[in-house]
Amino acid sequence: SAHGSYTTQNKLPADFAWGFATASYQIEGAYDEDGRLPSIWDTFSKTPGKVEDGTNGDVACDSYHRTHEDIKILKQYGAQVYRFSLSWSRIIPLGGRNDPVNAKGLEFYSKFIDDLNAAGIEPVITLYHWDLPDELLERYGGALNQEEFVADYANYARIVFKSFGHKVKRWITFNEPWCSSVLGYNTGKHAPGRTSDRTKNPVGDGAREPWIVGKTLLIAHGTAVDIFRKEIKPTHGGEIGITLNGDWAEPWDPEDPADIEASERKIEFAISWFADPIYHGKYPDSMVKQLGDRLPAFTPEEIALVKGSNDFYGMNHYCANYIRHREGEPEPDDAAGNLDHLFEDKFGNPIGPETNCEWLRPNAIGFRKLLKWLSDRYGYPKIYVTENGTSIKGENDLPLEELLKDDFRVQYYSDYIGAMADASAIDGVNVKMYMAWSLLDNYEWSEGYQTRFGVTFVDYENGQKRIPKKSALTLGEIFNNHVSKE
Ligand code: PNW
């Protein structure tokens, strides 16, 4: 099987750094403390029927009160970097550029950054990991309103850069804009849970919503990068980029040109939607061809802002799919590229074993192939893997002792890190950093708490106690074996 078969002696470069990733709403809890107001995820998770187990992030891992425990385990595991996100709702509780700034929110993160730096762990900060202040959705429709959203995000970003730019060197503007656009405005699986409803869309044709949101996020990204480069970088240095999610796509019928083309298109609809404007100054041809003027056009000024706006490519990657083309015309709101995702190819070969997530099947070779694909298309940029990891089927139902022996996850990391080492050593991919998702079991969005992605078990029934799983203690060893010593 594809799982558990990847071995290599190849090495990553000596200056390679690794660590873990989390996100504010998934771990912090303390939802109403020290001035924080609701984000769209507070509202969404408390709307009946939206989250599988009906849970929310009110308490989560209680990391707001347990920063010292989190730093302690990071050190224990040997992490060199820690990627976490800021809750916009703690810093500007109402969200807007004319709304009050909450000193307590800034103080919380300031102290956390200091403590990480003091522990020798480099903070990597995501400005936006999906938890938009709810007021901005109510006020003007959130990211559907480009002008307002960009102005408010720019204000938030500037406040954060001015507060922390002297002690944080790596910044991520947005986590996975594809998820915000498609899961938030097309399938409705994520907040704000819109499904291209034409009757309620404040800006017109509802079936355009995902692409309007995608464009807004790109412009907001470019604007924040511009602020960072003009106002912060000259004095403090540092790097900034966006994090994009993307799975590998393998043709269902390896000999059918239509499936080969659909596989390419699938990656373009997920990744190149955002990465082509950033690296090439335009949308991918396949999207223009299918969507026509549903794709909101860029002005020349907007393209100038977005093109060249990545100091590094932030890559979130989990899995692969077999892709089969569809016959006939795509639906007007089809955001996938007129194709189907399958777990078996034409000959019945599985793409990988099942996990606890319907969408996730491990396939380490796909990671290597996608690293190469990205490098070829975008000119061998510096890549930071900002998320990679797996859930395990039925993990939540296991007795603690068995749950802690997460050999499936150990195998996943060992295979994926090996594949990354080959991408680096053989394919010439410029990958320099890796963050495992996740440091902790946490709030897995619409799957609630039953799906665990952590290398650390969090006992939600027992004061959010943290207990390392086998994978937590193995990652350091894997990197020790795979990072060159010279
Ligand atoms: C990413 N999908 O989300 C996020 O950045 C994390 O916050 C999340 O916990 C992690 O991956 C694991 O899911 C995704 O349905 C959520 O295809 C859903 C999908 C992809 C990524």
**What ipTM was reported for this prediction?**
0.92
Question: Mutate which of 387, 440, 452, 458 to test ligand 1's pocket (most atoms within 8 Å of Cβ)?
Answer: 387
Q: Is the CB of 453 under 6 A from ligand 1?
A: yes
Instruction: Determine which helix (DSSP H) or strand (DSSP E) holds 316, and give its type and residue range.
Output: strand 313-316
Q: Is the CB of 359 under 6 A from ligand 1?
A: yes
Question: Would you state the pLDDT for residue 196?
Answer: 67
What's phi and psi for 312, nearest 5 deg?
Answer: -150, 160
Largest CA distance in the chain: 61
Q: Strand, helix or coil at 430? A: coil
354: which 2 tokens?
């099942």
Instruction: Please name the residue whose Cα sits nearest to atom 13 of ligand 1.
Output: 444
Question: How many angstroms separate the CA atoms of 17 and 19, rounded?
Answer: 7
Burial (0-12, 13-18, 19+ Cβ within 10 Å), 467: middle
pLDDT in tens, 349-375: 999 999 999 999 999 999 999 999 999
Question: How many angstroms separate the CA atoms of 196 and 193, rounded?
Answer: 9
Q: Which residues, other chains included, contact 358 with Cβ-Cβ below 8 Å and sequence gap of 6+?
A: none
Q: Which residues, other chains included, contact 166 with Cβ-Cβ below 8 Å and sequence gap of 6+?
A: 236
Burial (0-12, 13-18, 19+ Cβ within 10 Å), 130: buried
Q: Strand, helix or coil at 82? A: strand
Dihedral, CA atoms, 414, 247, 263, 197, nearest 10 degrees?
160
Q: Which residues, other chains included, contact 475 with Cβ-Cβ below 8 Å and sequence gap of 6+?
A: 18, 77, 78, 413, 436, 455
Question: Would you state the pLDDT for residue 224?
Answer: 99
Question: How many angstroms separate the CA atoms of 464 and 89, rounded?
Answer: 23
Among candidate residues 242, 231, 220, the one with its CA nearest the CA of residue 151: 220
Contact 22, 86 (CB under 8 A): no
Question: Mutate which of 28, 437, 439 to test ligand 1's pocket (most atoms within 8 Å of Cβ)?
Answer: 437
Tell me how long the chain is: 486
Residue 23, CA atoms < 13 Å, CB-side half-sphere = 24
Residue 357: other Cβ atoms inside 10 A: 17
Q: Is the CB of 22 under 6 A from ligand 1?
A: no
Is the backbone of residue 189 left (phi > 0), alpha (psi -120 to 50) or beta?
alpha
Question: Would you state the pLDDT for residue 207?
Answer: 75
Question: Would you state the pLDDT for residue 2?
Answer: 44
Residue 73: other Cβ atoms inside 10 A: 18
Q: Is the CB of 436 under 6 A from ligand 1?
A: no
What is the chain's Cα-based Rg? 21
What's phi and psi for 217, nearest 5 deg?
Answer: -65, -35
Question: Mutate which of 41, 176, 384, 442 to test ligand 1's pocket (most atoms within 8 Å of Cβ)?
Answer: 176
Question: How many angstroms separate the CA atoms of 96 and 137, rounded?
Answer: 11
Q: Is beta strand 81-85 parallel, antiparallel or unpaired with respect to 17-21?
A: parallel
Question: Would you state the pLDDT for residue 212?
Answer: 95
Q: Is the CB of 245 under 6 A from ligand 1?
A: yes
What's phi and psi for 218, nearest 5 deg?
Answer: -65, -45
Active site residues: 176, 387
Distance of CA 154 to the CA centre of its chain: 20
Residue 459, CA atoms < 13 Å, CB-side half-sphere = 13
Question: Would you state the pLDDT for residue 1?
Answer: 39
CA distances from 90 to 39, 57, 150, 153, 462 (A): 10, 14, 19, 14, 26
Mean per-residue pLDDT pooled into runs of 10, the chain (486 residues): 74 98 99 98 98 98 98 98 99 99 99 98 99 98 97 99 98 99 94 75 65 98 99 98 98 98 98 99 98 94 98 98 96 92 98 98 98 99 99 98 98 98 98 98 98 98 98 97 92
Contact 447, 52 (CB under 8 A): yes
Q: Is the CB of 23 under 6 A from ligand 1?
A: yes
Contact 461, 400 (CB under 8 A): no
Question: Would you state the pLDDT for residue 203?
Answer: 47
